[in-house]
Amino acid sequence: MYHLMFVYISAIWGSSFILMKWAELCYPAMSLATYRLFGAAVILFVFRQFSKSREKLAKKDLLPLCVMAFCTILPYAVQPFLIAKYGSAFIGMMVIFVPLLTILVSIPLLKVFPSQKQLIGVFGGLFFSWLIVQDGGDRDVTLVDMLLAFSIPFFYALGNTYTKKKLSHMKSLDLSYWIMLISFILLWPFATYLEDIVIDDHFAKATTYLGILGILGTGIPIIFFFYLINNRGPLYAGMVTYVIPIGALIWGAVDGEEITGIQLAAVTGLLLMVAMVQWPEKKTE
């Protein structure tokens, strides 16, 4: 079951970057993030209405949920901003830094030290990730934008680990719903005040893509993702980010973006690292 969830999340989130690119025909970055969160919150609300195990929000969980909302808002807004400048495939590959950063964050927060095999897999992934950074240099990515790109995996890793530490007692459905709802409430005033949505001939298509992104690409997989964090740990869940770039590359190629040999070599190597980390440990008698 865990591996099936892993595959589903990887496939769905691998297509999210091209959906962001298409939705940006009418929705600027913060507005896109806002209504993506809204779509996710709506479908999660519906699921909760049919769930017999839903629980009321405890006051002690409100502050940790707000921290998680911040860790969600920033990547959701930065990704479409950078995609508009550098394309969906390249930005989609930035999430591959999540596992390494998860290990670094987990040591002080969770006191969890990775196994030798996990270290080899993640640091091997770091080497192939370096190839992606080199490719970014060839695309004339500015230093500020590269730092913004690195903030995406950093806040994902921080959020995943913080969830395990502070919110693992919450059911995945409740946790997902409150994070999406609080994130939407916090971001909506800024998006409304600072940005204008373009209503033109592309509006219907852009809104459809945004709806798919919010409901099918965010609301449903986020439930599975938090379930994996709480039951298999943030590193296992975070390893989906080594598979997501495959979908980003495929969709980028379909949309006419340039796919380089460096990117393909990096993705191949990253898949090998995923296989190493995910392969079950041998049981000793």
Does 32 reside within a domain? yes
Q: Is a pLDDT exceeding 90 seen at residue 53?
A: no
pLDDT score, position 71: 94
Does 105 reside within a domain? yes
Q: pTM for this one?
A: 0.82
Q: Write the pLDDT tens digit of every residue in 62-71.
A: 999 999 999 9
Does 69 reside within a domain? no
Rounded Cα gap, residues 176 and 241, in angstroms: 19
**Can you give the residue range of the structural domain that contains 141?**
2-49+75-278
> Average pLDDT, stretch 43-67?
91
Cα distances (Å, whole numbers) of residue 31 to 20, 147, 181, 201, 209: 11, 22, 15, 18, 14
Does 258 reside within a domain? yes
Does 68 reside within a domain? no
Domain count, the chain: 1
Q: Is a pLDDT exceeding 70 seen at residue 146?
A: yes
Share of the chain above pLDDT 70, in %: 91
Q: Which of 186, 214, 222, 221 is nearest to 40 (CA)?
A: 214
In terms of average pLDDT, the best of 77-81, 158-162, 165-169 is 77-81
pLDDT score, position 88: 83
Q: Is a pLDDT exceeding 70 seen at residue 277?
A: no
- How far is C-alpha 150 from the chain's CA centre? 13
Does 235 reside within a domain? yes
Does 180 reside within a domain? yes
Does 70 reside within a domain? no
